[in-house]
Amino acid sequence: MTLKFITLNIWLGGYLQDEAVSFLKSQDADIIVLQEAFNGESSLLDARYRTVQVIKEQLNLPYASFSPNREQPHTSDTSALIGNSIISRYPILSSDSSVDEYNLQHAVVSTPAGEVNVFNLHGSWDLDGNKFSLIRQKMSRDVIAAIENQKKVILAGDTNAKPTNKAIVAITEYLKSVFGHELTTTFNMRRKDNKGYASAAVDMIFVGPDIGIIERSCPDVDVSDHLPLVAILNIE
């Protein structure tokens, strides 16, 4: 089967939520992984604080799992959790997560081609994308431990590291990078003042050796401070 997959750091719940939803609708993906999503449901919350609910409803995707990083106040009386979310056309059978200075979310998704292990990573932040810090070393080890014995693996997200970082290079010993080193940046430079972001390709998709890559793209759309990554994959 073919599976359309998108990863997007949606920018603190979606500062450009209408634009993001319109783009995601046009893509009609089977699985979307988001970073910086809010999981609020109260009608008292602005739409930006209800990211998962809004996208599920607007895209008619019935299944979602959420892995929070922290709680963020909305008003003096309301708050919402922010973190990673996996939103799917297909049933999510189970989910778990590991949260440190990074968020590694895992969901087992039941597709027509069998179970697919989807991992959604929001990496430890550091302005130096090549710094092989202790926390990035731990993140890399945790990712490898989570994926190395799994079949049909898709790992994606905002790694906050460059492809040349040793933490990322170690992961590529187990998984194929869908984009490799071909992207110059995955930031939307319309929304960034620091010119260093123009040479930082930190959003990534990886797949296991049993998943084929049919198409890939990084649309230059104004939907977040990051650019989305889109991949059409072959899963048998």
Count structural domains, the chain. 1
Cα distance between residue 177 and residue 173, in whole Å: 10
Residue 73 in this model has a pLDDT that exceeds 60? yes
Tell me the CATH number at 32. Answer: 3.60.10.10
Encode pLDDT of 82-92 as tens digits: 999 999 999 99
**What is the pLDDT averaged over residues 147-166?**
97
What's the confidence (pLDDT) of residue 162? 98
What's the confidence (pLDDT) of residue 80? 86
Domain extent for 40: 2-235
Provide the whole-model pTM: 0.97
